[in-house]
A = this chain, B = another copy of it.
Amino acid sequence: MRIRIINPTITTTWEQDARHAYETAASPGTEISIRSLEFGTATVESRRDVALVAPGVVAAAREAEADGADAIIVDCMLEPGLQAAREVVTVPVVGPAGAAMHLAATLGHAFSVLAIADNRRPLYAEIARRHGLGPRLCSVRTLGIPVMALDDDADATLAAAVVQATAAHREDGADVIIPGCTGLAGRAGSIAAGLREHGLELTVVDPPSAAVRTAETLVALGLSHSPRTYPRRAAKAVHEPGGAGAPA
């Protein structure tokens, strides 16, 4: 099985880490490839960024299908272009937020998302509502650490995640934790272990892992998004008035 990861940014330096994270979580035999966007922004942190990179995601999805990918993952909790991409390919397109939230909803009665910064709150609330799981999201908690510092001091990041996850349980009623920021990707186990050291057993769901396993499940079962909810669309030219354009 071949799964194409779309990094919805132009920051190709992230590719190696991301591929490693997905390969670690994937089943044996699943072949992971990753593509960054040709046109886009360096990071995706806002609705503006979501808008700016979505056309690139649509094009990358079409390219992935042409390359023979069996499934596609848009590697970002804000899932830019995901629904649009589903209209242009027949293979399943999966996002880490939806995959993690649906899995979390089956494992406990409420979940919290750990985010980088306060301005993510309305975004995560929108995403939970979009997936029909708004009432299950009981809080969004922020680490209070600059994004750039996440990698510099992995221990401090982990410690902050444990503190916020504990508060999410104690104060907000969360029984499942979803680490929502990239700097915590692949570290669900460490967070759960950190919580256990403090006497708290919580289920921690890693979004990239949830996404790759959900994608595998869909491929294995011959399933994809409904062509009635996502009517198929052919390539469409994007061009300037009076000029020519490339199909996307």
Contact = CB atoms under 8 A, between A and B. Distances in A.
Given A52-B55, A87-B47, A106-B98, A202 B226 contact: yes
Contact of A50 (B37, B84, B129, B238): B84
Contacts of A135: 132
Contacts of A49: 233, 236
A121 B173 CA distance: 9
A39 B244 CA distance: 10
Given A107-B223, A229-B109, A10 B241 contact: yes
A76 B129 CA distance: 23
A227 B241 contact: no
A94 B214 CA distance: 15
Interface in A77-134: 81, 83-88, 92, 94, 98-99, 102-103, 105-109, 119, 121-122, 125-126, 129-133
18 contacts: A37-B241, A39-B239, A41-B238, A46-B87, A47-B230, A51-B81, A51-B84, A54-B55, A92-B107, A99-B106, A102-B102, A102-B103, A108-B228, A119-B231, A122-B230, A129-B130, A210-B217, A213-B216
